[in-house]
């Protein structure tokens, strides 16, 4: 793949004279991905808006290139900030597809890593490890979750610094080969960027993921259940509504992820209930109905998580 000199002052002889942006939009399949994004992802208005804008910019950029107008290779590295469970990874997947359709990355796969995958445990271990991941991510998107863990200011001999340097170098030199997305909590990403200005200047798109509202979470719950052929009874729906309200006040709330886990546990209870109470043959409707009691049995309602301080993460029973 040869990189023809960018920004040539005069249009090349074989440049087209007109481009049909609408047709371009159609042919590239970008519309399809954007529609999918709109359909599959609930809420996230500002995120969708940003992605739409970015897609438009890239589409226009590509058209300009075809007409021989000045264009530079766009910087596509991004940073996703937001609380856990707000859909950062899912959106990254869609972005990978989008950039692939637009021809900015060649393969369109997503390699999702955390600090452990990049940073080694002893001297000389980090560089090969980071390079290994980078090689794997070539032609696609490298998604670094909780990127701020790469940088440990309290330990100046931390190997994370080495990974950061390699990463920065590749982000600059292989801009045509891969797109890096850094993700994490907003405030900690901010500190991370302040102490690593190299990252900030190489990242063009900062996208902030807002928390879901209660209504959106309920909608997400129903979507998840529908995909698995379950449904909520009206009572259960009301119970879940209350569950979301209460759960949000408790520690380790992780938006959609908390809801998904709550539903998994509700399914567990439902299965138990069916097994305990079933006396005769039951039909598909009973098998797929989540009742209010399946949700109300949650520990969240009985004062909940404060009693499980020692337990890690989002696992209220």
Q: Which residues bind another protein (CB under 8 A)?
A: 1-2, 106-107, 109, 128, 131, 134-140, 174, 177-178
Q: Tell the burial category of 196 from Cβ atoms under 10 Å away from its Cβ (0-12, 13-18, 19+).
A: buried
C-alpha–C-alpha distance, residues 34 and 229, integer Å: 26
Q: Which 3 state secondary structure label does DSSP give 180? A: strand
- Separation CA 159–CA 298 (nearest Å): 43
Q: Report helix, strand or coil for 192.
A: helix
The residue among 166 and 256 lying less far from another protein, judged by its C-beta, is 166
Q: How far is 138 from 183, CA to CA, in rounded Å?
A: 19
**At its nearest, how many Å lie between another protein and the CB of residue 59?**
23
CB closer to another protein out of 78 and 134: 134
Compute the least distance from the CB of residue 110 to another protein, in Å: 10
What is the four-CA torsion angle of 257, 262, 265, 270, rounded to 10 degrees? -130
Minimal distance in Å, beta carbon 177 to another protein?
A: 4
Nearer to another protein, 6 or 264 (CB): 6
In the complex, the smallest distance separating the C-beta of residue 107 from another protein, rounded to whole angstroms, is 5
Give the other-Cβ count within 10 Å of 240's Cβ: 27
- In whole angstroms, how close is the CB of 4 to another protein at the nearest point? 12
Nearest to 73 by CA among 148, 140, 171, 182: 171
In the bound state with another protein, the residue whose beta carbon lies nearer, of 140 and 160, is 140
Nearer to another protein, 177 or 211 (CB): 177
- Lookup result for tokens 């039909």: 283
Residue 92 CB partners (closer than 8 Å, separation 6+): 80, 110, 112, 141, 143, 181, 183
In whole angstroms, how close is the CB of 14 to another protein at the nearest point?
19
Q: Which is nearer to another protein, 105 or 266 (by Cβ)?
A: 105
CB under 8 Å to 268, separation ≥6 — which residues? Answer: none
User: What's the distance, CA 80 to chain centroid?
Assistant: 8
Nearer to another protein, 87 or 140 (CB): 140
Q: From the CB of 170, what's the least distance to another protein, in Å? A: 8
């Amino acid at each position: 793949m040869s990189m023809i000199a960018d920004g040539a002052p005069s249009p090349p002889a074989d440049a087209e004279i007109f481009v049909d942006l609408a047709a371009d939009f159609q042919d590239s399949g970008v519309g399809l991905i954007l529609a999918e994004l709109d359909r599959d992802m609930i809420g996230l208005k500002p995120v969708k808006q940003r992605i739409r804008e970015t897609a438009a910019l890239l589409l226009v950029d590509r058209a300009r290139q075809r007409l021989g107008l000045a264009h530079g290779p766009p910087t596509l590295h991004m940073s996703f900030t937001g609380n856990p469970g707000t859909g950062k990874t899912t959106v990254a997947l869609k972005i990978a597809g989008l950039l692939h359709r637009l021809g900015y990355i060649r393969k369109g796969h997503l390699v999702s890593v955390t600090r452990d995958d990049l940073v080694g445990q002893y001297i000389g271990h980090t560089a090969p490890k980071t390079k290994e991941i980078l090689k794997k991510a070539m032609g696609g998107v490298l998604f670094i979750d909780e990127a701020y863990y790469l940088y440990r200011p309290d330990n100046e001999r931390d190997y994370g610094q080495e990974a950061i340097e390699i990463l920065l170098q590749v982000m600059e030199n292989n801009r045509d080969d891969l797109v890096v997305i850094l993700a994490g909590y907003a405030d900690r990403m901010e500190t991370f960027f302040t102490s690593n200005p190299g990252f900030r200047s190489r990242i063009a798109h900062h996208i902030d993921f807002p928390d879901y509202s209660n209504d959106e979470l309920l909608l997400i719950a129903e979507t998840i259940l529908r995909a698995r052929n379950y449904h909520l009874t009206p009572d259960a729906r009301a119970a879940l509504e209350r569950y979301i309200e209460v759960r949000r006040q408790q520690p380790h709330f992780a938006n959609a992820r908390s809801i998904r886990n709550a539903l998994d546990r509700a399914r567990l209870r439902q299965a138990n209930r069916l097994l305990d109470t079933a006396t005769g043959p039951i039909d598909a409707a009973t098998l797929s109905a989540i009742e209010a009691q399946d949700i109300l049995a949650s520990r969240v309602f009985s004062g909940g998580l404060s009693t499980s301080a020692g337990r890690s993460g989002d696992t209220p029973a």
